[in-house]
Structure 1
């Protein structure tokens, strides 16, 4: 197992606890995702402001930072993925509060009243609370005997395949609809591509402001660029009839982002090296 795999698969709970106390990284990711990203998204979304369904889909997905597969992709790039794992509950709770406010400002009360918060609550329990509780139990068992260590190694080895399988199922469930509406959905692709490009310098600038080290800078860039499509999709599917296209807009972002993450994994380590300055700008 190489160093990248170790970063992805083995963040011990003690490392997570230490990461929670990293206030500079928390401050950087919160500022990046809830101050800079909304400003960028507002500007980019003006290009499709005349189509409400496209606008709602773009805003839903781009205003919500990722809390799941960003940990896998950032780990492949040598980022401090344990810090992203530690900040996941914070980002999840923050977006539950911030998303309705941003939608109210950017669109109006009609869409806000149509959004069901239940999927967010379910995601907090399923994606954050339950996995962390299971990780704590598994690590405690691993510390006691060889069987426990074997169980933990097996769970770690399954992490990436399970995440990729989840993505494949989610995307596959909507891919036919994407094909049928490709003419309409094509207009949002440049917005998603532009977002991925813009978030690199914005993430780097934010990291310099908060004086983050190399691993944390890479993690912050990934946090700013990856979006919470797996959680947002149930919200989109629950919207009423006039917004049926919204779910496909969200899935389109996932397809663009997956390609972008492959590029990020190769490019970000070259941009953010051990010699990258971390002094404030």
Structure 2
């Protein structure tokens, strides 16, 4: 084994939206007791979900699995209007853990829809955030996953056409698709502020810098995490060998043969405890130096819903 040094990406790991979503579940458990029902995994990380299950959170995909009178939390990814309306009609006590940056996209879609806009959404089919955004309106929203998808777009009209995106995409891939959309529909309305969230952008920027300084990049994150997967893909695109692991137990010694420097980062839904476990394992494999990159310090914090704040 030839590992000598580990370079930590800055920033990495939890973002403000994930912090808030997990805190909502934990505060609800403390205030109302178990079980607390959560519609979909609160964030896409197996360690986080398993820890909350042990405390009494029950994760469901179907509202039929939530008993009458229960407390229900919507995941950080957001939900469609249909799910919101059904949950309200069933009389659940509801707390919304949707990331505020996802909510911003929902609000924009609803507002522009009233003004007669159709939408092109850049995102991954089947991802819960995409399902939630598509479900904000009944029709007139077209999902594209790639440059190739743009060619087959046939909106009913092009005078009022707007683009929105999933918040956890690759910044570069999204820019490429958006350029093709603008070429085909020159008057398309772009988001006022880029929909890709600050944390996704910051972590991708850090991986670009990291990848040029190391022989191999390890991304801590679960396979279901879109933003973690994009980090692994980006490191690979930058020319570094790259792997994603859910935990330190998934590290494979053969990955590190002939590699002296290891870059380490974590997706926005991966807790720092998992990063530290990977560092411990890398030290056992020979790493003698662990240092942090210079990087942005994130200090964003989002308020909890009324009813879960300390003063309430």
- Same fold? TM cut 0.5: no
Q: Which has the higher strand share?
A: 2
Normalising by structure 2, we get a TM-score of 0.22
Q: Which has the higher helix share?
A: 1
Normalising by structure 1, we get a TM-score of 0.24
Pair member with larger Rg: 2
